[in-house]
Structure 1
Amino acid sequence: MVYSTDSSISETTLSTPLLSAATIGSSDSDDSPPTSHRFAPEAVICQFPKIPSSGSYRSLAVLRGHVGSVSCLALCGEFILSASQGKDIIVWQQPDLRQFAKFGQGNGSVKALVTVGNKVFTAHQDSRIRVWKVSRSSENIFKLVAALPTTKDYLGKFMKQSNYVQTRRNHRRLWIEHADSISCLAVHNGMVYSGSWDKTLKVWRVSDLKCLESIKAHDDAINGLIAHKGIVYSASADGKIKVWGQDKSSHCLKGVLEGHKDVSLNSVIVSEDGRMVYGGGSDGYVMGWEGDEDLGSWKLIYEIKAHQMAVLCMCLMGEFLCSGSADKSIGIWKREIGGGLCNVGVIRGHEGPVKCLQASPSSVGDGFLLYSGGLDKSMRVWWVPKYSTKGEQRSPIEIGFPSSVEVVLRGLKKLQVFGCEKRRQGHIILQNVVSILTIVCPTTTDDSTIKDIQKKQKWKADNYACRGHILNYLADSLFDVYQLAIMIVNDYGREEDENADSDRNYVAKANDGGRL
């Protein structure tokens, strides 16, 4: 099943600055829960797109604002952080996806980022890791507090010759320094791990930002890292995924997962139980290894040609695996018993290779949210439905969306009769529901049918509330409005037509400007 975005998908539009309340971690302790503070950032209001008539996924937003390709994403509570090769980092606030803050300009292309407590760690092409801290007192909400290795760490080691290592011919560096671009970051249990094109894996302590270890990990550039229950997995251009465990004082090699010959591994992810490791290759294959972290043994048991071009990124959400590729598509896969993958959909919409993916659960509907960043300088937000055990799509009604315009129109007819008298401010709700249902009606339906109904029922275009107002008035997210609309249609549509005359008079009076 192939999904493609509608050409009418809207992008973010700038509006005047708004005051907004935000919750963000600003505790001095990295492991402490975040506290709430209020800020007044510049706001960018996200215009949600028209729902496409084909496919079951939903494109919620196309966010543009970066000056370069979007290289990495991170989720942090109600915030989404996106970074680009244009050196800037944007913080988006959910659920309306407004721009909360922008920082990091002028510090080298950003290759990776992670969040730890009230700190943000960013890895850059200039071989440095920068640490940003949330600050209430500063004009800049995200304040640069350190660059790794720190000056203190550097001064403590630069005098001793044994602390220097050969990086290339006639060139030496301290072992705490990366000698090439830092491509990936991972965090676990108070430690930040960095992988670099210099083939090394370094371990940093969050509390004092000190470099604890430098490991000559691979024979080629490290492209991906993930930490899972104290085990670190590194994917490399040498075609291997290496597994690193920690003993009392250092990390040691626990296993090597071999991929295809002469194929670079660009990304790695691990199942929640740690039994399956998946790697994405430059040949378009996704490979799966089954193993035991405690025993330190893994076996390649599955591989599939997932894309026509290189797999650049992957993420897991429960039983689903998502893969982003240089072919501009996102593959949606359902994990099966035994480690296999079943393709349940392909999302198309990016105008360039898909470089990064993140996923989060959705509180509305039977699905999850998927965030993607691409070389087209955009971050896109998708709603991906879950499927039955047979891999079949669930009907739109089951997941909270009208399946056709006929269903919507039938519901509206009944809603006009029963809906208004049943609720306070019923007319306002009715107008908003009509506007939302108009947005989700399939475009393939004859427009004359809609116009005829609107004309007969005296629906006026100027009564349609704007989408942003609907979002702010009725719900915290667009899906809440959908759910409300369907609830009203389903609940009141089943009632008997006992008070039809009085309710019709009520609606007519409301449309004519009468006091309710």
Structure 2
Amino acid sequence: MKLRSWLSTCSSATSISTADDATSLPPQTTRNFLFSDTSSASPSSQDTSSSSSSLQSNLSLQTLPSVPSLQKLSPDQTLTLALSSLSHHHVLASLKPRPLHVTALALHHNLLYAASGTEINVFDVNSYALVDTFNGKDSLSGSVKSFTFCNGKVLTAHQDCKIRVWKSTETKRHKLVATLPTVMDYFRRFIFPKNHFQIRRHRKRLWIEHHDTVSGLAIANNLIYSVSWDKYLKIWSVPNFRCLQSIKAHDDAINAVVASIDGTIYTASADSRIKVWRPPIGERKYALIATLEKHKSAVNALAVNDDGTTLFSGACDRSILVWEREDSANYMVVTGALRGHSKAILCLINVSDLLLSGSADRTVRIWRRGSDGRFCCLTVTNAHEKPVRAVTAVTEGGSPGGGAVKVFSGSFDGEIKVWKVFVSTLNSQ
């Protein structure tokens, strides 16, 4: 089951139980298992719905309400009031490059890269002006699924099984400089029969090639990692872009990949599993070190925090699980679940101490871990008319965990919404 089939999965999914339901997760892994939509007084569906409507009604406000003073409140009252008043937001702009699905967003050097069908549009983050449009004439490449950046180059993952490398000129125009696998790498392997493997009856491919949509890209330690609906994880060297290793990583389509700062790789699949990869000590080739199995349906999105100790996973079961390292052996355990979305989670990104999630329920939620270790939902945006497929963000001033965050969300309605979210610390005056 691929990511493209999430609609049927969501419609058939059973309702998600609350944190106290022992069938959701085994007792030994339900530490700090939370109902995390703090906009509601209780985890009941009725309260959640009414509270979300209250939050969403503030989206169109152009003037920001003032934050109440917290000086005279007791600690418990202060926490409750702070969470309900913690963030304010309003729409800065709405970009609609083409009337097609927005399939990927990424920020790099004050530029926003937005994929809409086969076309890639580049916007200035500050002025929202369209700087460049490229790949629009290559109709055979299929839709763009993911971006990553390496040594001043832009790498894009495509539906035609290819990874393309682009170089930005001084005028911010983008020029194609390579396609992976490269021609040199292809012919170097082609002459040896051992490099060919059968993908279906009467059809063979080189092991360095993906043979289905490339769904995700990541980069760490001068290596590029690509995953595909063909179930394979491939590892490429920099700067010569040679394929170093190909691993059949899952039993179904792989939907996402992220790389931790320490080089640990996480892959998420429609087989409901997340797998963890790292080279054994003293070796270069990656090997499986753990399989994480708690989701009940296809895992669509992954995000990792800045220090690599916490992993977030979003799935068609409408939940976001929080995984943390249990010991020095990198064993990971579920320590919480963020609930509030009513349909499949389609995208996740971690920025500073904030987690942003986009869903098929057409909303974007912003989550934050408090000083007590609990996550709370700071705000909900619902300006999109169709499922939110991509989200990215950048902090603007202030200390980490405080100040403003500029959020970009892309949807199947073809629009990119730009939000500015003002986040105050719990001890703000």
Distance 1:113 1:293, change over 3 A: farther
Q: CA RMSD in A?
A: 2.3
Q: Corresponding residue for 2:420? A: 383
Distance 1:198 1:258, change over 3 A: same
Aligned with 2:126 (options 82, 95, 100): 95
One-letter identity of the residue aligned with 1:297:
Y
Q: Distance in 1 between matches of 2:285 and 2:105?
A: 29
Structure 2 residue runs without a partner (length 5+): 1-38, 40-51, 66-86
Aligned with 1:184 (options 187, 198, 216): 216
Aligned with 2:142 (options 108, 128, 138): 108
Deviation at 1:283, TM superposition (A): 1.3
Distance 1:293 1:279, change over 3 A: farther
Deviation at 1:67, TM superposition (A): 4.3
Deviation at 1:292, TM superposition (A): 4.8
Secondary structure of the residue aligned to 2:189 is: coil
Q: Deviations over 1:198-227 (max 9, x none)?
A: 000001112111111111111111111111
Q: Distance in 2 between matches of 1:6 and 1:336?
A: 23
1:257 equivalent in alignment to 2:268:
no
Mapping 1:206-285, distance limit 5 Å:
206-229=238-261, 230-247=263-280, 248-261=283-296, 263-285=297-319
Secondary structure of the residue aligned to 2:194 is: helix
Deviation at 1:5, TM superposition (A): 7.3
Secondary structure of the residue aligned to 2:212 is: coil
Q: Distance in 2 between matches of 1:289 and 1:296?
A: 11
Q: Distance in 2 between matches of 1:368 and 1:52?
A: 17
One-letter identity of the residue aligned with 1:90:
N
1:51 equivalent in alignment to 2:68:
no
Deviation at 1:136, TM superposition (A): 4.6
How many equivalent pairs are there? 347
Aligned with 1:312 (options 334, 342, 346): 346
**Whose Rg is larger?**
1
Q: Deviations over 1:240-269 (max 9, x none)?
A: 1111112432111121111223x0111111
Deviation at 1:134, TM superposition (A): 1.9
Distance 1:5 1:118, change over 3 A: farther
Secondary structure of the residue aligned to 1:155 is: helix
C-alpha contact (below 8 Å) 1:91/1:101 kept by paired residues: yes
C-alpha contact (below 8 Å) 1:91/1:100 kept by paired residues: yes
Deviation at 1:276, TM superposition (A): 1.7
Q: Deviations over 1:161-217 (max 9, x none)?
A: 111122223322110000100011101122111110000000111211111111111
Deviation at 1:135, TM superposition (A): 3.0
Which protein has the bigger helix share? 1
1:133 equivalent in alignment to 2:170:
no
Distance 1:231 1:216, change over 3 A: same
Identity within the alignment, %: 37
Q: Distance in 1 between matches of 2:267 and 2:419?
A: 28
Deviation at 1:122, TM superposition (A): 0.6
Q: Distance in 1 between matches of 2:327 and 2:302?
A: 15
Q: Distance in 2 between matches of 1:160 and 1:222?
A: 28
Q: Corresponding residue for 2:3? A: none
Distance 1:303 1:190, change over 3 A: same
TM-score between both structures, scaled by the size of structure 1: 0.64
Q: Distance in 1 between matches of 2:154 and 2:128?
A: 19
Q: Distance in 2 between matches of 1:193 and 1:293?
A: 26
Q: Deviations over 1:266-303 (max 9, x none)?
A: 11111223222110010110111121584121112222
C-alpha contact (below 8 Å) 1:220/1:238 kept by paired residues: yes
Mapping 1:37-436, distance limit 5 Å:
51=62, 56-84=88-116, 86-105=117-136, 106=138, 107-136=141-170, 141-229=173-261, 230-247=263-280, 248-261=283-296, 263-292=297-326, 294-336=328-370, 340-363=374-397, 366-389=403-426
C-alpha contact (below 8 Å) 2:88/2:423 kept by paired residues: no
C-alpha contact (below 8 Å) 1:67/1:88 kept by paired residues: no
